[in-house]
């Protein structure tokens, strides 16, 4: 008995965080998992039951299309964000510490912006009266201003805006730890700056870049407001439908089933990225 208390004593510090995380993070997931098998109840949110109908329901052409839209949009946003972020982050890490800090403050400020604000700002920027349409008219590219939103392009732009600062901050640690003499060595051996970037920097960062792609993919997969603000109803993603089912259709069991499914997809991808990262280091 005394040995047990003695052994527990060393772990006392972890008790409070453990309790908080289990009660408020693990338990909600367990409840959500069980609710995904419950049946819907119009009066009281849900009824305990065990049915697979919530899962079988989205094996339909409609939800198949929704899933495909979500995955394609996020994949495209991830690829664009990371392609821009890799050279951008590389340049930032080559700046002096002072300028790096300025860049990071700016990026963090953009990163922390609410999806609501990003959606509002881009819908304004792409609108007829206050948007780049006015700029195009001013420089003579267009006759009269027009609205560019809602459209698939606007949504993709918004998702890229959401993902870009995230991608930069995921790439930043690895790129800033890159020995500056490595690209210099490539140059001394005869590689032009562009060639040394593709020959040496990119291959060395392969795992980090894969990780960034997956993280941005998962992150934009969770976008809920942008598809509603910048896209058309056919661009609504799984996240939008989850919220829609939970709040407006009051079908929590079905929302839970979709969330569990989305989580499994995300977890699988995060798992793959960590495994890839570990295999190298």
Partner 1 sequence: MTQVQIENVTKKYGNFKAVDGVTVDIPDGSFVCLLGPSGCGKTTLLRLIAGLEDLSGGSLSVGGMDYSKVPAHKREFGMVFQSLALFPHLTVAENIAYPLKIRGVSASDRRARALELLDLVKLPDIADRQIHQLSGGQRQRVAIARGLAIDPKVFLLDEPLSALDANLREHLQIELRQLQKTLGVTTIVVTHDQREAMSMADTVIVMEAGKVQQVGTPVEIYRNPANAFVANFIGVSNLLAGRLTGPAQFTFDGKVINLTPEDILHVQKGQAGTLSVRPEDIVVLPDPAQGQLNGQVNFIRDLGANVEILVRVGDIDIISVCAPQSRPGVKMSDRVGIQILTGRATVLAA
Partner 2 sequence: MLILRYAFILVVLLFLAAPLVVIFGVSVNEPKQLLFPPEGFSLRWYAELFQASDWLNALRNSVVIALGASTIAVSIALPLALYVWKKQSKMAQALFGLGVAPFLLPPVISALGFMIFWITVGFYGQIYATIISHGVFLVTLPLVTISLGLEAVDRQLIEASRTMGANDKTVFRTVIFPLARPYMISGFAFVFVLSLNEYIIAYMVAGFTAETLPIKIFNSLRYGYTPVMASVAVFFVLTAIVVFGSIARFGDLPRLLGAERARR
Q: Which residues bind partner 1 (CB under 8 A)?
A: 179, 181-182, 184-193, 195-196, 199-200, 203-204, 206
- Out of 47, 53, 72, 124, the only residue in the binding site for partner 2 (CB under 8 A) is 124
Beta bridge partners of 46: 40
Instruction: Examine residue 78 and tell whether it contacts partner 2 (CB under 8 A).
Output: no
Of 135 and 185, the one with the shorter C-beta distance to partner 2 is: 135
Instruction: Examine residue 25 and tell whether it contacts partner 2 (CB under 8 A).
Output: yes
Instruction: Examine residue 20 and tell whether it contacts partner 2 (CB under 8 A).
Output: yes
Select the span of 51-59, 183-191, 199-207, 262-270 touching partner 2 (CB under 8 A). 262-270
Select the span of 59-67, 146-154, 199-207, 266-274 touching partner 2 (CB under 8 A). 266-274
Name residues contacting partner 2, limited to 219-238 (CB under 8 A): 219, 221-222, 224-225, 229
148-187 footprint of partner 2 as x/- string (CB under 8 A): -------------x--xx---x--xx--xx--x-------
- Out of 247, 249, 268, 272, the only residue in the binding site for partner 2 (CB under 8 A) is 247
User: What whole-number distance in Å separates Cα of residue 248 and Cα of residue 242?
Assistant: 10
CB of 222 to partner 2, least distance (A): 3
Chosen from partner 1, partner 2, none, partner binding at 184 (C-beta under 5 to 8 Å by type):
partner 1
């Amino acid at each position: 008995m005394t040995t047990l208390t003695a052994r527990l004593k060393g772990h006392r510090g972890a008790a409070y965080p453990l309790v908080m995380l289990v009660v408020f993070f693990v338990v909600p997931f367990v409840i959500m998992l069980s609710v995904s098998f419950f049946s819907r109840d119009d009066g009281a949110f849900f009824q305990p039951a065990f049915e697979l109908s919530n899962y079988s329901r989205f094996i339909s052409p409609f939800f198949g299309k929704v899933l495909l839209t979500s995955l394609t949009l996020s994949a495209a946003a991830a690829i664009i964000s990371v392609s821009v972020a890799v050279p951008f982050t590389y340049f930032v890490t080559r700046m002096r510490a002072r300028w790096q800090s300025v860049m990071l403050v700016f990026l963090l400020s953009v990163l922390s912006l609410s999806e609501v604000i990003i959606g509002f700002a881009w819908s304004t920027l792409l609108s007829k009266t206050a948007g780049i349409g006015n700029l195009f008219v001013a420089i003579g590219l267009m006759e009269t201003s027009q609205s560019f939103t809602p459209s698939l392009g606007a949504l993709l732009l918004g998702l890229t805006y959401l993902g870009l600062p995230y991608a930069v901050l995921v790439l930043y640690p690895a790129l800033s730890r890159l020995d500056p003499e490595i690209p210099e060595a490539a140059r001394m051996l005869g590689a032009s700056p562009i060639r040394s970037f593709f020959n040496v920097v990119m291959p060395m960062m392969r795992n980090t870049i894969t990780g960034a792609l997956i993280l941005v993919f998962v992150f934009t997969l969770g976008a809920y407001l942008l598809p509603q603000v910048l896209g058309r109803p056919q661009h609504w993603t799984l996240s939008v439908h989850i919220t829609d089912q939970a709040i407006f259709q009051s079908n929590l069991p079905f929302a839970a089933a979709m969330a569990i499914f989305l989580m499994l997809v995300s977890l699988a991808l995060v798992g793959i990225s960590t495994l890839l990262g570990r295999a190298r280091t």
